[in-house]
Amino acid sequence: MKIAVFGTGYVGLVTALGFAKLGNKVYGIDKDMGKIESLSKGRVPFYEPGLQEILKETRGKGLVEFHTNGAKAVEEAAVIFICVGTPALPDGRADLSQVEEVARFIAENIRDYKVIAEKSTVPVKTSYWIKRTVNLYKKESVEFDVVSNPEFLREGSAVQDFFHPERIVVGTETERARNLMRQLYKDFDVPLLFTDVGTAEIIKHASNSFLAMKISFINMLAELCEKVDADVDMVSKGMGLDSRIGERFLRAGIGFGGSCFPKDLKAFYRIAEAEGVEFPLLRETERVNDLRPAKFIYKMKRAMWNLRGKKIGVLGLSFKPNTDDIREAPSLKVINLLKSEGAKIVAYDPAACKNARAVLPELRCASSPYEAAQGANAISLITEWEEFKTIDWKRIRESMETPLVFDGRNALDGRKLASLGFEYYPVGKRPIGNFNG
Ligand code: UGA
């Protein structure tokens, strides 16, 4: 099948390359000339495990091409995916101007039947506006359908998630569009859930909001566990063994970040509000999350008296491991708070230093965790990169001024660290170490 994908960000590029790998002919369209040049030369412009290899393979087979002008793509494709950004406006609502721009472009170039599929996360009823826009601006009397086909892939494991989703949701109003989408997904052996369009749009926002709510729930439990000397990881395990609850997304830590959860939560409660539905659960989910970095700093201050002039090695800048994405990353808030407390910061991240320095130009980035720990009064682990688990902590201990580790993700082996002479401060659990102060 021929497919056009507008927008070559995380969702768009994974969609484009995923469908190309399955043997479809795909046109990737983006107005960002730099991105298109990079992709046309065979380089993925961001870090996502496995994607570079698929680009190489599909380009080699002539299954994917990239353009800034999508006229040919619209003409040839049977299905046109809209994967452009839907960033938050200052009041939290989604900015849909890029979606409108693509809809108008499609309208001007559509000559025969197409399925236009929204994949970007959009408010319910966006499909109505796409349909209306195409109908208003189209030059010829052609038929088309707008479907909602939300994407559930996670950064850092996007390729795996594309090929092995747990479900595929398609919101559509017509048999014709349903058949085309069924054919497109014929290689996927997972539940294919057909709904009406608005329902599919809601499923996406509801899924992200629910997962965010689970995280804020466990993070509040972590606070309670710290007060009563309970262990939040075991609470999470004990709750999660109940299959009605499930263990996943119950990992306590320094809060969720990224380009999706914070933005989608805001947009979702704005949608509810606009419809006259109060949904304070969503606002509370956000409020709990916003407080995490300050609570973390408070814990550091309690252990260190104050942070003025103290050197802090920050491990991890990306909003989660296996990505260089720092959008809404808790690390940025932690670093700003540390700075305002007068601390000196040296950070290390395996992939995200460059992006972090673009928003925090004064940030000192080390080239290894050992360099970040040199002479430090404390280490703060903010992102649980796998490589932090295999660090030579004895070496780190020897180079630090004072041996304090604040683990914002409960990623490290606290007992081992304590046996090496560290004071270890996890989230939602009793600190371990020889507290002789
Ligand atoms: C999220 C959803 O998981 C995807 O299903 C969805 O497609 C995507 O948003 C999107 O809308 O595009 P993503 O933002 O890539 O994916 O990352 P997640 O793995 O969901 O993690 C989000 C944040 O939650 C991270 O900061 C992570 O550290 C945090 N998190 C996650 C926790 O603090 N605890 C957990 O138990 C799980």
Structure confidence at residue 21 (pLDDT): 97
Ligand 1 nearest atom to the CA of residue 11, by list position: 12
Of the options 3.40.50.720, 3.40.50.10540, 3.30.479.10, 3.40.190.10, the CATH number for the domain spanning 2-195: 3.40.50.720
Structure confidence at residue 92 (pLDDT): 86
Do 2-195 and 292-425 fold alike per CATH?
yes
What six digits make up the tokens of 116?
A: 């236009």
Residues 382-421 pLDDT 10s: 999 999 999 999 999 999 999 999 999 999 999 999 999 9
The CATH fold assigned to 292-425 is Rossmann fold (3.40.50)
Ligand 1 nearest atom to the CA of residue 325, by list position: 15
Confidence bin at 435 (pLDDT 50/70/90): confident
Confidence bin at 152 (pLDDT 50/70/90): very high
Using CB distances shorter than 6 Å, the residues near ligand 1 are: 121, 151-155, 208, 211, 215, 249-251, 253, 256-258, 260-261, 319-320
Say yes or no to pLDDT of 36 above 80. yes
Confidence bin at 434 (pLDDT 50/70/90): confident
- From atom 5 of ligand 1, which residue's Cα is the shortest distance away? 152
How are beta strands 168-171 and 192-195 bridged, if at all?
A: parallel
- From atom 27 of ligand 1, which residue's Cα is the shortest distance away? 256
Active-site option among 83, 260, 353, 365: 260
Active-site residue, 260 included: yes
Ordered by start, the domain boundaries in the chain are 2-195, 205-286, 292-425
Confidence bin at 126 (pLDDT 50/70/90): very high
Structure confidence at residue 437 (pLDDT): 56
Mean of pLDDT over the chain: 96
Residues 170-193 pLDDT 10s: 999 999 999 999 999 999 999 999
pLDDT over 70 for what percent of the chain? 100
Of the options 3.90.1170.50, 3.40.50.20, 3.90.1150.10, 1.10.1040.10, the CATH number for the domain spanning 205-286: 1.10.1040.10
Residue in 155, 268, 332 to alter for ligand 1 test, most ligand atoms within 8 A of Cβ: 155
Residues 201-241 pLDDT 10s: 999 999 999 999 999 999 999 999 999 999 999 999 999 99
Residues 267-323 pLDDT 10s: 999 999 999 999 999 999 999 999 999 999 999 999 999 999 999 999 999 999 999
